[in-house]
Amino acid sequence: PDSFDAAYGIATSRLQNQDFEGAPQGIEDLQRRFPDVARTYLIAGHVHKAFGDAAAASSAYRHALQLEPHLGEALYNLVDIDPPAPDDAVTARATEIATRAGVRPADRINARFALARIHDKAGRYAEAFEYVQCANRLAHEDMGARNIRYRPSQTEHQVARIITNYPASSFRTALEPLPIDLTPIFVVGLPRSGTTLIEQVLASNGDVQAAGERVFAMRCEARFREARKAAGRKGPVDPGNGTDAELLEAARETYVEHLFEAGLDGRWVVDKLPANFEIAGFLRSMFPQAPIIHSVR
Protein backbone atom coordinates (compact mmCIF):
# COMPACT_ATOMS: atom_id res chain seq x y z
CA PRO A 1 0.00 0.00 0.00
CA ASP A 2 2.84 2.44 0.74
CA SER A 3 5.13 1.50 -2.13
CA PHE A 4 5.64 4.32 -4.62
CA ASP A 5 7.67 2.07 -6.92
CA ALA A 6 4.83 -0.45 -7.13
CA ALA A 7 2.22 2.22 -7.90
CA TYR A 8 4.55 3.87 -10.44
CA GLY A 9 5.20 0.49 -12.04
CA ILE A 10 1.48 -0.16 -12.40
CA ALA A 11 0.89 3.26 -13.97
CA THR A 12 3.83 2.77 -16.34
CA SER A 13 2.64 -0.70 -17.35
CA ARG A 14 -0.81 0.63 -18.12
CA LEU A 15 0.67 3.35 -20.30
CA GLN A 16 3.06 0.99 -22.12
CA ASN A 17 0.23 -1.47 -22.70
CA GLN A 18 -1.85 1.41 -24.08
CA ASP A 19 -4.53 0.93 -21.44
CA PHE A 20 -6.15 4.31 -22.04
CA GLU A 21 -8.76 3.74 -19.35
CA GLY A 22 -6.46 2.42 -16.65
CA ALA A 23 -3.57 4.85 -17.24
CA PRO A 24 -5.48 7.99 -16.10
CA GLN A 25 -6.68 6.09 -13.03
CA GLY A 26 -3.09 5.17 -12.26
CA ILE A 27 -1.85 8.75 -12.34
CA GLU A 28 -4.80 9.94 -10.25
CA ASP A 29 -3.85 7.31 -7.66
CA LEU A 30 -0.21 8.45 -7.69
CA GLN A 31 -1.12 12.14 -7.36
CA ARG A 32 -3.41 11.39 -4.44
CA ARG A 33 -0.93 9.18 -2.56
CA PHE A 34 2.45 10.61 -3.59
CA PRO A 35 1.95 14.31 -4.41
CA ASP A 36 5.52 15.28 -3.44
CA VAL A 37 7.38 12.82 -5.70
CA ALA A 38 8.65 14.16 -9.03
CA ARG A 39 8.06 10.92 -10.94
CA THR A 40 4.37 11.15 -10.08
CA TYR A 41 4.14 14.14 -12.42
CA LEU A 42 6.60 12.64 -14.90
CA ILE A 43 4.28 9.69 -15.61
CA ALA A 44 1.29 12.06 -15.55
CA GLY A 45 2.99 14.10 -18.28
CA HIS A 46 3.56 10.95 -20.33
CA VAL A 47 -0.11 9.99 -20.07
CA HIS A 48 -1.32 13.48 -21.02
CA LYS A 49 1.14 13.49 -23.92
CA ALA A 50 -0.17 10.12 -25.13
CA PHE A 51 -3.69 11.56 -25.05
CA GLY A 52 -2.56 14.58 -27.07
CA ASP A 53 -3.15 17.10 -24.26
CA ALA A 54 0.03 19.18 -24.71
CA ALA A 55 -0.92 21.85 -22.15
CA ALA A 56 -1.60 19.34 -19.37
CA ALA A 57 1.55 17.39 -20.24
CA SER A 58 3.70 20.53 -20.14
CA SER A 59 2.22 21.52 -16.78
CA ALA A 60 2.96 18.07 -15.35
CA TYR A 61 6.56 18.09 -16.61
CA ARG A 62 7.12 21.56 -15.14
CA HIS A 63 5.75 20.37 -11.80
CA ALA A 64 8.13 17.39 -11.90
CA LEU A 65 11.06 19.75 -12.52
CA GLN A 66 10.03 21.92 -9.59
CA LEU A 67 10.26 18.87 -7.33
CA GLU A 68 13.42 17.46 -8.94
CA PRO A 69 15.27 20.21 -10.86
CA HIS A 70 17.70 17.82 -12.61
CA LEU A 71 15.11 15.32 -13.87
CA GLY A 72 16.28 15.14 -17.48
CA GLU A 73 13.41 12.98 -18.74
CA ALA A 74 10.86 15.61 -17.68
CA LEU A 75 12.99 18.34 -19.25
CA TYR A 76 13.37 16.52 -22.57
CA ASN A 77 9.65 15.83 -22.87
CA LEU A 78 8.80 19.42 -21.96
CA VAL A 79 11.12 20.65 -24.72
CA ASP A 80 9.85 18.04 -27.16
CA ILE A 81 6.29 19.40 -26.88
CA ASP A 82 7.28 22.99 -27.61
CA PRO A 83 11.01 23.76 -28.01
CA PRO A 84 11.83 27.13 -26.40
CA ALA A 85 14.21 29.76 -27.76
CA PRO A 86 17.96 29.35 -27.13
CA ASP A 87 17.85 32.24 -24.63
CA ASP A 88 14.88 30.85 -22.66
CA ALA A 89 15.10 29.87 -18.99
CA VAL A 90 14.31 26.25 -19.90
CA THR A 91 17.33 26.24 -22.21
CA ALA A 92 19.49 27.54 -19.36
CA ARG A 93 18.15 24.72 -17.16
CA ALA A 94 19.02 22.17 -19.86
CA THR A 95 22.54 23.57 -20.18
CA GLU A 96 23.04 23.36 -16.41
CA ILE A 97 21.84 19.74 -16.26
CA ALA A 98 23.94 18.76 -19.27
CA THR A 99 27.18 20.11 -17.81
CA ARG A 100 26.84 19.85 -14.05
CA ALA A 101 29.08 17.33 -12.30
CA GLY A 102 27.34 14.73 -10.17
CA VAL A 103 24.15 14.66 -12.25
CA ARG A 104 23.05 11.17 -13.28
CA PRO A 105 24.14 10.13 -16.81
CA ALA A 106 20.51 9.58 -17.90
CA ASP A 107 19.63 13.14 -16.91
CA ARG A 108 22.65 14.61 -18.71
CA ILE A 109 21.84 12.54 -21.82
CA ASN A 110 18.23 13.77 -21.88
CA ALA A 111 19.40 17.36 -21.32
CA ARG A 112 21.74 17.15 -24.30
CA PHE A 113 19.00 15.75 -26.53
CA ALA A 114 16.75 18.57 -25.31
CA LEU A 115 19.40 21.13 -26.28
CA ALA A 116 19.69 19.50 -29.70
CA ARG A 117 15.93 19.85 -30.15
CA ILE A 118 16.05 23.51 -29.08
CA HIS A 119 18.87 24.44 -31.46
CA ASP A 120 17.35 22.45 -34.31
CA LYS A 121 14.07 24.38 -33.94
CA ALA A 122 16.05 27.64 -33.93
CA GLY A 123 17.82 26.71 -37.16
CA ARG A 124 21.18 26.34 -35.44
CA TYR A 125 21.90 23.02 -37.09
CA ALA A 126 25.64 22.80 -36.36
CA GLU A 127 25.02 23.25 -32.62
CA ALA A 128 22.11 20.82 -32.70
CA PHE A 129 24.21 18.16 -34.40
CA GLU A 130 27.01 18.64 -31.89
CA TYR A 131 24.59 18.12 -28.98
CA VAL A 132 23.18 14.98 -30.62
CA GLN A 133 26.67 13.55 -31.08
CA CYS A 134 27.60 14.38 -27.49
CA ALA A 135 24.39 12.80 -26.15
CA ASN A 136 24.94 9.65 -28.18
CA ARG A 137 28.55 9.33 -26.99
CA LEU A 138 27.48 9.67 -23.38
CA ALA A 139 24.65 7.16 -23.87
CA HIS A 140 27.06 4.69 -25.47
CA GLU A 141 29.48 5.03 -22.55
CA ASP A 142 26.69 4.70 -19.98
CA MET A 143 25.23 1.58 -21.58
CA GLY A 144 28.70 0.06 -21.90
CA ALA A 145 29.29 0.64 -18.19
CA ARG A 146 26.06 -1.30 -17.53
CA ASN A 147 27.09 -4.06 -19.97
CA ILE A 148 24.36 -3.12 -22.46
CA ARG A 149 25.99 -3.52 -25.84
CA TYR A 150 24.87 -4.08 -29.38
CA ARG A 151 25.91 -7.56 -30.44
CA PRO A 152 25.70 -8.07 -34.22
CA SER A 153 25.63 -11.85 -33.86
CA GLN A 154 22.31 -11.65 -31.99
CA THR A 155 20.74 -9.60 -34.77
CA GLU A 156 22.14 -11.96 -37.42
CA HIS A 157 20.66 -14.92 -35.55
CA GLN A 158 17.28 -13.20 -35.30
CA VAL A 159 17.22 -12.34 -39.01
CA ALA A 160 18.23 -15.90 -39.92
CA ARG A 161 15.34 -17.21 -37.80
CA ILE A 162 12.87 -14.92 -39.56
CA ILE A 163 14.11 -16.01 -43.01
CA THR A 164 13.88 -19.67 -41.99
CA ASN A 165 10.40 -19.34 -40.52
CA TYR A 166 8.84 -17.30 -43.34
CA PRO A 167 10.19 -18.34 -46.76
CA ALA A 168 8.10 -17.83 -49.90
CA SER A 169 6.61 -21.31 -49.43
CA SER A 170 4.87 -20.13 -46.25
CA PHE A 171 2.41 -18.09 -48.32
CA ARG A 172 1.26 -20.71 -50.82
CA THR A 173 -1.63 -21.54 -48.50
CA ALA A 174 -3.61 -18.82 -46.74
CA LEU A 175 -5.99 -18.69 -43.82
CA GLU A 176 -9.64 -18.12 -44.54
CA PRO A 177 -10.49 -14.39 -44.50
CA LEU A 178 -11.94 -12.83 -41.37
CA PRO A 179 -15.72 -13.36 -41.16
CA ILE A 180 -16.14 -9.64 -40.35
CA ASP A 181 -15.68 -6.52 -42.47
CA LEU A 182 -12.43 -5.37 -40.88
CA THR A 183 -9.02 -5.26 -42.52
CA PRO A 184 -5.83 -3.96 -40.90
CA ILE A 185 -3.42 -1.86 -42.93
CA PHE A 186 0.13 -2.35 -41.62
CA VAL A 187 2.56 0.53 -42.17
CA VAL A 188 6.18 -0.44 -41.56
CA GLY A 189 9.64 0.96 -42.24
CA LEU A 190 12.47 2.71 -40.45
CA PRO A 191 11.79 5.54 -37.96
CA ARG A 192 11.48 8.98 -39.61
CA SER A 193 10.69 7.39 -42.98
CA GLY A 194 7.22 8.96 -43.24
CA THR A 195 5.07 6.30 -41.58
CA THR A 196 3.11 8.87 -39.55
CA LEU A 197 2.34 10.95 -42.64
CA ILE A 198 1.10 7.84 -44.47
CA GLU A 199 -1.13 7.00 -41.52
CA GLN A 200 -2.57 10.53 -41.49
CA VAL A 201 -3.26 10.46 -45.22
CA LEU A 202 -5.04 7.10 -44.98
CA ALA A 203 -7.04 8.13 -41.90
CA SER A 204 -8.42 11.16 -43.76
CA ASN A 205 -10.74 8.65 -45.45
CA GLY A 206 -13.95 8.16 -43.48
CA ASP A 207 -13.73 4.36 -43.71
CA VAL A 208 -10.26 4.28 -42.13
CA GLN A 209 -9.31 4.49 -38.44
CA ALA A 210 -5.78 5.22 -37.21
CA ALA A 211 -4.62 2.93 -34.40
CA GLY A 212 -1.36 4.78 -33.78
CA GLU A 213 1.79 3.00 -32.70
CA ARG A 214 0.67 -0.19 -31.01
CA VAL A 215 3.02 -2.95 -29.97
CA PHE A 216 0.29 -5.56 -29.72
CA ALA A 217 1.11 -7.29 -33.01
CA MET A 218 4.65 -7.83 -31.70
CA ARG A 219 3.25 -9.43 -28.56
CA CYS A 220 0.92 -11.63 -30.59
CA GLU A 221 3.91 -12.80 -32.63
CA ALA A 222 5.94 -13.59 -29.50
CA ARG A 223 3.05 -15.60 -28.05
CA PHE A 224 2.58 -17.39 -31.37
CA ARG A 225 6.25 -18.46 -31.34
CA GLU A 226 5.94 -19.71 -27.77
CA ALA A 227 2.75 -21.65 -28.54
CA ARG A 228 4.30 -23.11 -31.69
CA LYS A 229 7.36 -24.25 -29.75
CA ALA A 230 5.14 -25.82 -27.08
CA ALA A 231 3.27 -27.68 -29.83
CA GLY A 232 6.53 -29.10 -31.16
CA ARG A 233 6.41 -27.21 -34.45
CA LYS A 234 9.73 -26.23 -36.06
CA GLY A 235 10.88 -24.79 -39.36
CA PRO A 236 8.80 -22.74 -41.80
CA VAL A 237 5.36 -21.55 -40.74
CA ASP A 238 2.77 -23.34 -42.88
CA PRO A 239 -0.87 -22.17 -42.76
CA GLY A 240 -1.70 -25.44 -44.55
CA ASN A 241 -0.63 -27.34 -41.46
CA GLY A 242 -3.48 -27.86 -39.01
CA THR A 243 -1.49 -26.86 -35.92
CA ASP A 244 0.00 -23.74 -37.49
CA ALA A 245 -3.38 -22.72 -38.89
CA GLU A 246 -5.02 -23.12 -35.48
CA LEU A 247 -2.30 -21.08 -33.76
CA LEU A 248 -2.43 -18.34 -36.40
CA GLU A 249 -6.22 -18.10 -36.11
CA ALA A 250 -5.92 -17.86 -32.32
CA ALA A 251 -3.32 -15.08 -32.69
CA ARG A 252 -5.55 -13.25 -35.17
CA GLU A 253 -8.55 -13.51 -32.86
CA THR A 254 -6.49 -12.07 -29.98
CA TYR A 255 -5.27 -9.22 -32.18
CA VAL A 256 -8.79 -8.34 -33.36
CA GLU A 257 -10.12 -8.44 -29.80
CA HIS A 258 -7.43 -5.92 -28.87
CA LEU A 259 -8.60 -3.62 -31.66
CA PHE A 260 -12.20 -3.87 -30.46
CA GLU A 261 -11.19 -3.16 -26.86
CA ALA A 262 -9.49 0.01 -28.11
CA GLY A 263 -12.63 1.07 -30.01
CA LEU A 264 -11.03 0.30 -33.38
CA ASP A 265 -13.77 -1.48 -35.28
CA GLY A 266 -13.82 0.40 -38.59
CA ARG A 267 -13.76 -1.17 -42.01
CA TRP A 268 -10.03 -0.43 -42.26
CA VAL A 269 -7.66 0.09 -39.33
CA VAL A 270 -4.13 1.47 -39.78
CA ASP A 271 -1.61 -0.23 -37.51
CA LYS A 272 1.46 1.97 -37.85
CA LEU A 273 4.55 0.66 -36.08
CA PRO A 274 7.84 1.01 -38.01
CA ALA A 275 9.46 -1.98 -36.25
CA ASN A 276 6.70 -4.31 -37.45
CA PHE A 277 8.88 -4.87 -40.53
CA GLU A 278 10.49 -7.59 -38.39
CA ILE A 279 7.22 -9.54 -38.23
CA ALA A 280 5.90 -8.85 -41.73
CA GLY A 281 5.83 -12.60 -42.44
CA PHE A 282 3.69 -13.21 -39.37
CA LEU A 283 1.35 -10.32 -40.29
CA ARG A 284 0.92 -11.68 -43.80
CA SER A 285 0.21 -15.15 -42.40
CA MET A 286 -2.42 -13.82 -39.96
CA PHE A 287 -4.05 -11.46 -42.46
CA PRO A 288 -3.47 -12.65 -46.06
CA GLN A 289 -5.67 -9.84 -47.43
CA ALA A 290 -4.17 -7.02 -45.35
CA PRO A 291 -2.07 -4.40 -47.17
CA ILE A 292 1.45 -3.99 -45.81
CA ILE A 293 2.88 -0.58 -46.72
CA HIS A 294 6.65 -0.29 -46.54
CA SER A 295 7.67 3.35 -46.14
CA VAL A 296 11.08 4.21 -47.62
CA ARG A 297 12.70 7.61 -47.28
3-class DSSP string for 120-164: HHCCCHHHHHHHHHHHHHHHHHHHHHCCCCCCHHHHHHHHHHHHH
> Each residue of 250-297: pLDDT tens digit?
999 999 999 998 899 899 999 999 999 999 999 999 999 999 999 998
**Angle, CA 66 vertex, CA 63 and CA 68 arms, to 5°:** 110
Verdict on whether the full-model pTM lies above 0.85: no
Quick: pLDDT tens for 122-132.
Answer: 999 999 999 99
- How far apart, in whole angstroms, are the C-alpha atoms of residue 165 and residue 102? 49
pLDDT, tens only, 226-255: 999 999 999 999 999 999 999 999 999 999
Residues forming beta bridges with residue 184, ordered by sequence position: 269
DSSP, collapsed to helix, strand or coil, labels residue 271 as: strand
